[in-house]
Amino acid sequence: MADAGQPLADRVAVVTGAARGIGRATALALGKSGAHVVAIDLDEAAVKPTADAVSALGRKGLALGADVGDLRSIDGMVRRIIDSFGRIDVLVNNAGVTRRAYVMDLTEEDWDRIMRVNGKGVFFCLQRVAREMIPRRSGVIVNIASIAGKGYAGASNVIYAGSKGAVISMTRMAALQLAPHNINVNAICPGTTVTALSDANLRTRAADEGVTVEEMARRRNAAIPLGRANEPEDIAALAVFLATPGARNITGQSFNVDGGIIFD
C-alpha cells in the first residue's frame, strides 16, 4: 500500500505534451509521488529530458513521440505503453496549441490545427486509454482545459476558447459514462500560467498594445486577485491530487487554478 509520501507508488501515468510547461511539471510531480511516467510529445527527442528526469527520481521514465491528432499514432502509443508496463493507471491529457488572434483574423487553418489537438486529441486519447482501463475497472483521467472554456475574456482566441469548452463538456459526459467502470474523469482549468506558450501570447499582446513585455506582464498580474500568474507546478499539484486515492469520489468536475480570476 502506498505511503503518504508516495501516494502513487508504482502507478503508471501517461502525460501528453510533456516536453515543457505544464506537461513536464506534471510528469515530474507524478514521478515524485511514486508513479512511473510515460512522457509523450510530438518529438520524442524533445520529451526525452522529461523522461530522464523522472528516471533520475528512481521511477521508470519512458519518452514516446506521438501525434495526438492522429488515431493510428495514438493507438501505437498506447500499444507501446501496454507492452512496456502492462497497464495505464493515470492519463493526463495535456497537449494543446493556440495562438493569440482577434476573432476576425482567425483562419480555417487555425480551426483545424487547434481543434485537431485540443478537441480531437483529447477525446481520442481518452477513449483509447479508457479501452485499457475498463477491463481493469480502475483508472484516472485528467484533462487540461482552461478558464478560456468558461468565458474568460482574456482567452488567446475564440477557437481556443471553444476547444477548451469542448474539453469541459467532454469531461462531464465521459465521467458519467465511465463511472460504472470505476474510472474518474476530471478537468483542470488553468488561468494565466507561465509557460513558453503564454510567453509568446504575452509578447504578441505587448506588441499589439505598444508596451514593453515587462509592462504587459505587470498588467497581467494586476488583473489576478492573488497578484501572481500560475507556475506550471501549481497545475501539476492538482493533477497529482486528482490521481490519488484521496480524490476517489471526485469525478466530472472542472477545477479552476487561476488566482481568483473567475468563479464558475
- What percent of the chain is modeled with pLDDT above 90? 90
Mean pLDDT over 35-47 rounds to 98
Q: What is the pTM of this model?
A: 0.94
- What percent of the chain is modeled with pLDDT above 70? 98
Q: What is the pLDDT of residue 202?
A: 85
Q: What is the pLDDT of residue 3?
A: 61
In the chain, CATH 3.40.50.720 sits at 12-193+231-257
On the 0-12 / 13-18 / 19+ scale of CB atoms within 10 A, 81 is: buried
Catalytically annotated residues: 160
Q: What is the pLDDT of residue 19?
A: 98
Instruction: Look up residue 234 and give its three cell numbers.
Output: 501549481
Asked which of 21-30, 130-139, 207-216 is least confident by mean pLDDT, the reply is 207-216
Compute the half-sphere exposure of residue 33: CA atoms within 13 Å on the CB side of its CA.
23
Helices 158-178 and 122-133 pack at an angle, to 10 degrees, of 20
Q: What is the pLDDT of residue 4?
A: 64
Domain 12-193+231-257 CATH superfamily: NAD(P)-binding Rossmann-like Domain (3.40.50.720)
Of the candidates 169, 182, 167, 189, which has an alpha carbon nearest to the alpha carbon of residue 256? 189
On the 0-12 / 13-18 / 19+ scale of CB atoms within 10 A, 137 is: exposed
28, 236 Cβ separation under 8 angstroms: yes
Asked which of 40-44, 62-66, 72-76, 197-201 is least confident by mean pLDDT, the reply is 197-201
Q: Does an H or E element contain 72, and which?
A: helix 71-85
Instruction: Look up residue 264 and give its three cell numbers.
Output: 464558475
Mean pLDDT over 19-43 rounds to 98
167, 119 Cβ separation under 8 angstroms: yes
The amino acid at 218: R
Asked if pLDDT for residue 182 goes beyond 70, the answer is yes
pLDDT confidence of 198, banded at 50, 70, 90? Answer: confident
> Tens digit of pLDDT for each residue in 119-143?
999 999 999 999 999 999 999 999 9
